Amino acid sequence: MRKLEEQIQLLPSPVQQLCERLASAAGSLDQSAQWPAEQLQWCGEAGVFRWFVPTEFGGEGWSEEDLLTGYLALSQSCLTTTFVLTQWHAACRRIISSPNIQLRRQLLPQLADGSLFATVGISHLTTSRQHVARPVLTATPTQDGAYLLNGFSPWVTSASTAGLLVVGATLEDNTQMICAIPSDRDGLTTHPGEKLVALSSSCTDRVDLKEVRIESDEIVAGPIANVMQANTGGGAGGLQTSTLALGLTVAAVQSIYQQSEQRPELSSIAKKMAKDSSQLLDALRLLTLGAPCQMSAGELRQQANSLVLRSTQAALSAAKGAGFLASHPTGRWAREALFFLVWSCPQPVAAANMCELAQLCD
Walk me through the domains of the chain, giving residue ranges and CATH numbers: 2-112 (1.10.540.10), 118-230 (2.40.110.10), 237-357 (1.20.140.10)
What's the distance, Cα to Cα, between the start and end of the chain in Å? 28
**Would you state the pLDDT for residue 229?**
78
pLDDT tens-place string over residues 333-362: 999 999 999 988 888 888 888 898 898 876
Tell me which amino acid residue 303 is: Q
Under the banding of pLDDT at 50, 70 and 90, the label for residue 167 is very high
State the Cα–Cα distance between residues 139 and 362, nearest whole angstrom.
46
Peptide bond between residue 223 and the one before it cis (omega within 30 degrees of 0): yes
**Would you state the pLDDT for residue 235?**
47
pTM for this structure?
Answer: 0.93
Under the banding of pLDDT at 50, 70 and 90, the label for residue 131 is very low
pLDDT above 80 for 126: no
**Would you state the pLDDT for residue 346?**
84
**Would you state the pLDDT for residue 287?**
95
Q: What is the mean pLDDT of residues 76-89?
A: 97
pLDDT above 80 for 119: yes
Q: Which helix (H) or strand (E) element contains residue 276?
A: helix 267-289
Phi, psi of 203 (to 5 degrees): 50, 55
pLDDT above 50 for 227: yes
Q: What is the mean pLDDT of residues 102-127?
A: 92
Count CB neighbours of 36 within 10 A.
26
DSSP 29: H
Select the more confidently predicted residue: 168 or 12: 168
For the chain, what is the mean pLDDT? 91
Select the more confidently predicted residue: 228 or 62: 62
pLDDT tens-place string over residues 27-81: 999 999 899 999 999 999 999 999 999 999 999 999 999 999 999 999 999 999 9
Which of 96-110, 114-128, 237-251, 304-318 shows the lowest per-residue confidence on average (mean pLDDT)? 114-128
Q: Is 26 within 8 Å of 80 (Cβ atoms)?
A: yes
State the Cα–Cα distance between residues 316 and 127, nearest whole angstrom.
31
pLDDT cut 90: percent of the chain above it: 79
> Which among 296, 320, 295, 310 has a CA at the least distance from the CA of 341?
310
Under the banding of pLDDT at 50, 70 and 90, the label for residue 236 is very low
What SS3 state is found at 224?
strand
What SS3 state is found at 150?
strand
Select the more confidently predicted residue: 222 or 142: 142
Q: What is the mean pLDDT of residues 129-149?
A: 83
Q: What is the mean pLDDT of residues 254-279?
A: 93
Tell me which amino acid residue 98 is: S
DSSP 185: -
Under the banding of pLDDT at 50, 70 and 90, the label for residue 226 is confident
Distance of alpha carbon 60 from the chain centroid: 20
